[in-house]
Structure 1
Amino acid sequence: MIKGIGLDIVELPRIKQIIERTPRFVNRILTERERAIYEQLAPHRKLEFLGGRFAAKEAYAKALGTGIGGECELQDIAILPNELGAPKLYFKNELTNDFISITHTEQYAAAQVIILV
């Protein structure tokens, strides 16, 4: 049974502007393990990765029904690849059984999360 569904989309040019103005934005969004992956990417992939992770975290908070803040902070959520490269959700360092899909184009990154009971 589905407990929650979350969907979010971000404009990559807007994310790029934020990074240029506020370099700390990357550290605010990504966990330490996510940043290790981010730092190994080519510049254009960094933007896609960060935008996708931001959208995914927002989507997860929406699916939880809490939004970001209080019970669910950006640093509480990590999206890390499994052995095949598919994204897996971690909440407060615990692997969840929730479903996540992340996609991006040149202009947008989007994510959907489904939480099951």
Structure 2
Amino acid sequence: MIRGIGLDIVDTDRIRTLYGRKPAFARRILTAGELDRFETLSPGRRTEYLAGRFAAKEALAKALGCGIGKELSFQDAAILSDERGKPSVIFTSREKPKNGIFHVSITHTKTAAAAQVIWETE
């Protein structure tokens, strides 16, 4: 049964500007595991990665029905990829919803990053 669907799109120029003005922005959005991957990327690819993770976490919050804020922060979940590149949600400091499976898709263009999260239960 689908419990929630979230979709988000973000302008990559906005993310590039925010990160350029304040590099700590990446640490606010990314967990330690995500930062490890982020630091191995080229500057152009870093913007895509950061924008994609931002969009995915916003989409996750929408799927959960709570938004980013008091109930879910950017640090409460990591969006990590497996060896084939498939992203998945790993809750870091928030109790995972019971029986939850989260399907994540992230895409990029030259100007935008978008993500969709589907929260499914039995």
Which bin holds the TM-score, normalised by the shorter protein? over 0.9
Aligned residue type for 1:8: D
Name segments (4+ residues, structure 1) moved above 6 Å.
none
Counterpart of 1:110 in structure 2 is 114
Other-structure match for 2:14: 14
Structure 1 partner of 2:68: 68
Question: What is the CA deviation profile of residues 42-93 of structure 1, one whole-angstrom value per residue up to 9, with x for unaligned ones?
Answer: 1111000000000000000000001011221100010111132210111236
Report the number of matched residues.
117
Q: What is the Cα-based RMSD across aligned positions, in Å?
A: 1.4
Are residues 1:101 and 2:98 paired?
no
Structure 1, unmatched stretches of 5+, are none
> Unmatched 5+ residue regions in structure 2?
none
Which residue does the alignment assign to 1:57? 57
Percent of pairs with identical residues: 54
Q: Which residue of 2 aligns with 1:36?
A: 36
Alignment-derived partner of residue 81 in structure 1:
81
Segment of structure 1 superposing worse, 32-41 or 90-99: 90-99
Q: Distance in 2 between matches of 1:17 and 1:101?
A: 24
Q: For residues 23 and 81 of structure 2, what CA distance do their matches in structure 1 show?
A: 24
Indicate the SS of the match to 2:35: helix
